[in-house]
Amino acid sequence: LCTRGSIVDVDEQVRRWNAVELDDTRRVIDRVFAVDPLVVTVGPAA
């Protein structure tokens, strides 16, 4: 796994993912959907 210019060991990345709790996910969702206006497009946007 390579992000930000460095390679992260697979075991380390799995540990990071497992450390994410439901509250962490909720905070991110709340921050993403707090943007006004939120625009979602499905299919061609032409």
pLDDT given at position 3: 67
Partners of residue 25 on adjacent β-strands:
none
C-alpha 32/C-alpha 26 separation (Å) is 10
pLDDT of residue 43: 87
For the stretch 1-46, pLDDT in tens is 666 788 888 899 899 999 999 999 999 999 988 888 878 888 886 6
Q: What is the pLDDT at residue 1? A: 61
Query: What percent helix, strand, coil does the chain show, rounded to 5?
Result: 50, 10, 45
